[in-house]
Amino acid sequence: MNAAAILNRRQFLRTTGRAATTLAAASNLAPAVLSAGSPGRTIHVGCIGIGTRGGDLTNGVAAAPGVRVVAISDVYGPHRQKGIERSRNPGVKAYVDYRELLADPNVDAVVIATPDHWHCQMVLDAVKAGKDIYCEKGFSRTLAEAKLMRDALKKSNVVFQLGHQARQATCALQARELIARGMLGPITLVRTGRFKSLQPEHPNWRWYGYYDRWNRPDPAEVLKDLNWDRWLGPAPKIPWNERHFWHWRCYYAYGTGYAGDLLSHEMDFVQYLLGHGIPDTCNCSGLVALLRDDREVPDTWVATYQFEKPGRTVTFAGSMNANDHQPVTICGRDATLRFDNIAHDVSTFEIIPAGHHRNAGLPKGYERGKTPIQPNHLVDWLNCIRTRSTPKCSSDEAFVETATFLMSLKAQQNQRMVRWDAVREEIV
């Protein structure tokens, strides 16, 4: 079967069923539930959090070959019902408490797609339960959480994947190989960004259950179907607040705003291409420029990162009030490599030689068919479950992602440049 082609964040979920899953034998490092069976046995997956992103991921898992969704968990009744319907399994079990799903011996692996404030506890609990894990980005809300998660994962035999889909693009793999060969010369500048302006009556991150749904459900009916205390979990205890439930990305108790939701995509993609690790310094400014509702997180975000040893600067500029376009651009002394889009939507690239380097025989850009098509990000994780190998966005890469985006958050909130202390693993 053919692996999925170059896919963006939503497309890869719709096409997972066409992607190939490697059927290599499981090693003796596999959890007992997998190593006890044949190499081609069905992987039983439980999906935790069936909201906006979780609903899409449930579709993707249910469509994957050699996989069955056997359990779903959500604290909101309509989301549980959505999970049941999307599981494609009439025998699927539905849980309110995710810990009951983790205790289910029929579950081999879990997909965690809850708001970010739950990621740490759920990952730690899944590790203890011996379940392989696919977790949505951002990895965590704090550096302390990221350390706990990384250390627990590295001490386990769990196969872990963080949800950064840009790493699945075949054109990105080809660009990475060209960069590694020095085709661009020394790389001193990388430019990234995220822009999206919506109608004034539909401000960003104010949808109700999906990216294009704006009709407000009756709050009283929502509360009847919701276990609010379980939804809050480790977050500060507050009375029922529908805006926090539906629009959690706007509040720091549950996420990290632009930093972990959007900047993290771009910076993880740059890390995949260049592998330079955690930046040395970061300056960042953020402002609520137009979306002056009760949100705590800025709608405008500009960060500048410095990597001192390679002499490299990486910039991110984002606005929810403009429809500008900043494709990922890698600027080298001898040539510039420019992708066609933001990180998780890339499909091709062009190479633009510098004036002094025009006759160097550089390739013009992405050459289709030259590099084998890559499996999508979800299937990469499933492949690695079967082979007990390391996915493209492992726990080590997740820690780099988290330290990087949290540097921008701390710099913006403290209104000063911050530095990464590699010895102490702290932002100072």
SS3 assignment, position 272: helix
pLDDT in tens, 206-229: 999 999 999 999 999 999 999 999
| Residue scoring higher pLDDT (34 or 85) | 85
Pair (162, 175) in one structural domain: no
Instruction: Calculate mean pLDDT across residues 299-308.
Output: 98
Torsion sign over Cα 220, 53, 338, 267: positive
Pair (116, 182) in one structural domain: no
Instruction: Calculate mean pLDDT across residues 395-401.
Output: 98
- Number of neighbouring beta carbons within 10 Å of residue 94: 17
Q: What pLDDT sits at residue 359?
A: 66
Pair (148, 263) in one structural domain: no
* 299 has a pLDDT exceeding 70: yes
Domain enclosing residue 313, as ranges: 168-201+255-375+394-427
Q: What pLDDT sits at residue 361?
A: 80
Instruction: Calculate mean pLDDT across residues 81-104.
Output: 98
Pair (283, 420) in one structural domain: yes
- Predicted confidence band at 43 (pLDDT cuts at 50, 70, 90)? very high
**Domain count across the chain:** 2
Which helix (H) or strand (E) segment is 330 a member of? strand 329-332
Instruction: Calculate mean pLDDT across residues 164-170.
Output: 97
pLDDT in tens, 343-379: 999 999 999 999 887 766 889 999 999 999 999 999 9
* 68 has a pLDDT exceeding 50: yes
* 16 has a pLDDT exceeding 50: no
Residue 386 · residue 21 · CB < 8 Å: yes
* 28 has a pLDDT exceeding 70: no
Among 140, 166, 192, residue at a domain's last position: 166
* 11 has a pLDDT exceeding 70: no
List the Cα angle 364/365/369 in 5-degree steps. Answer: 120
Pair (295, 185) in one structural domain: yes
In the numeric block, the tokens 């849980």 are attached to 95
Q: Considering the domain boundaries, does residue 263 fall inside one? A: yes
Q: Considering the domain boundaries, does residue 174 fall inside one? A: yes
Torsion sign over Cα 7, 8, 10, 11: negative
Pair (44, 95) in one structural domain: yes
Write the single-letter amino acid at 317. Answer: A
Share of the chain above pLDDT 70, in %: 90
* 37 has a pLDDT exceeding 50: no
Cα separation of 110 and 72, whole Å?
Answer: 9
Cα separation of 98 and 147, whole Å?
Answer: 23
Instruction: Calculate mean pLDDT across residues 85-103.
Output: 98
* 17 has a pLDDT exceeding 70: no
Q: Considering the domain boundaries, does residue 214 fall inside one? A: no
Q: What pLDDT sits at residue 309?
A: 97
Instruction: Calculate mean pLDDT across residues 148-157.
Output: 98
Q: Considering the domain boundaries, does residue 300 fall inside one? A: yes
pTM to 2 decimal places: 0.91
CATH of the domain at 337: 3.30.360.10
Pair (30, 135) in one structural domain: yes
CATH of the domain at 63: 3.40.50.720
pLDDT in tens, 176-191: 999 999 999 999 999 9
Pair (190, 123) in one structural domain: no
Summary mean pLDDT of the chain: 91
Among 122, 140, 166, residue at a domain's last position: 166
